[in-house]
C-alpha cells in the first residue's frame, strides 16, 4: 500500500495526470508572457517613475513566466491569480461601466488588454487538476 502512495505522489509531481497538450498550452501561455516581457519590461524599468506598483507586478509576472516554461503545473497558481483578478475586474468594474454607457477610451483599451484574459485562461487552465489539487486534496498541516 505504501508503494501505491509513492507512485501516486510521483504521478502528481511529473504532471502525468494532466494531458501533454494541456501542459503545452500552459507553456505557450508562459512563453507569450516571457516573450512579451522582453519588449515591455526593460523600457518600463528604465523609465521608472511614480509609485511603480503595476510595473513591479508585471516585472514579477515576467520573471515567474520563465519558471512556468519549465514547471507549468507548479506555477499554475500564477495563472489562477491572473484568471481571478481579471474576472473580478471584468465583472465588478468594467461590466457596470459598460452597461451604464460610461464608455471611455481607457475602458475600451482595458477591455481589450484585460477582458480577454478570463476567456483565454478558462480554456488553458486544467480545471480537473485544480479541483483535485486545490479543492479536493486535504490541506497541508497547520502545526
CA distance 34 to 114: 17
Statement: residue 2 has pLDDT above 90: no
Alpha carbons within 13 angstroms on the beta-carbon side of residue 52 total 12
- DSSP labels, 79-100: HHHHHHHHHHHIIIIIHHHHHH
- What's the grid cell of residue 63? 520573471
- What's the grid cell of residue 72? 507549468
Q: What confidence tier does 12 reach under pLDDT thresholds 50, 70, 90?
A: low
pLDDT of residue 1: 47
Statement: residue 11 has pLDDT above 70: no
Q: Which residues are CB-neighbours of 66 under 8 A, at least 6 positions away? A: 30, 34
Q: Distance of CA 136 to CAs 23, 26, 131, 132, Å?
A: 21, 22, 6, 5
pLDDT of residue 27: 97
pLDDT digits (tens, 9 = 90+) for 56-71: 888 999 999 999 999 9
pLDDT digits (tens, 9 = 90+) for 84-116: 999 999 999 999 998 998 888 888 888 888 888
Statement: residue 14 has pLDDT above 60: no
CB 31 within 8 A of CB 69: yes
Domain chopping of the chain, boundaries: 19-72, 75-136
Residue of higher predicted confidence among 123 and 16: 123
Amino acid at each position: 500500500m505504501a508503494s501505491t502512495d509513492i507512485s501516486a505522489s510521483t504521478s502528481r509531481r511529473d504532471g502525468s495526470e494532466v494531458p501533454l497538450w494541456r501542459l503545452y498550452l500552459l507553456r505557450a501561455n508562459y512563453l507569450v508572457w516571457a516573450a512579451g516581457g522582453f519588449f515591455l519590461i526593460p523600457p518600463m524599468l528604465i523609465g521608472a517613475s511614480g509609485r511603480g506598483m503595476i510595473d513591479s507586478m508585471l516585472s514579477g509576472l515576467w520573471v515567474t513566466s520563465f519558471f512556468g516554461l519549465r514547471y507549468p503545473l507548479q506555477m499554475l497558481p500564477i495563472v489562477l491569480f491572473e484568471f481571478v483578478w481579471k474576472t473580478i475586474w471584468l465583472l465588478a468594474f468594467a461590466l457596470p461601466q459598460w452597461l451604464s454607457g460610461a464608455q471611455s477610451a481607457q475602458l475600451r483599451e482595458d477591455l481589450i488588454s484585460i477582458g480577454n484574459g478570463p476567456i483565454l485562461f478558462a480554456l488553458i487552465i486544467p480545471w480537473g487538476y485544480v479541483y483535485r489539487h486545490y479543492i479536493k486534496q486535504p490541506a497541508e498541516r497547520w502545526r
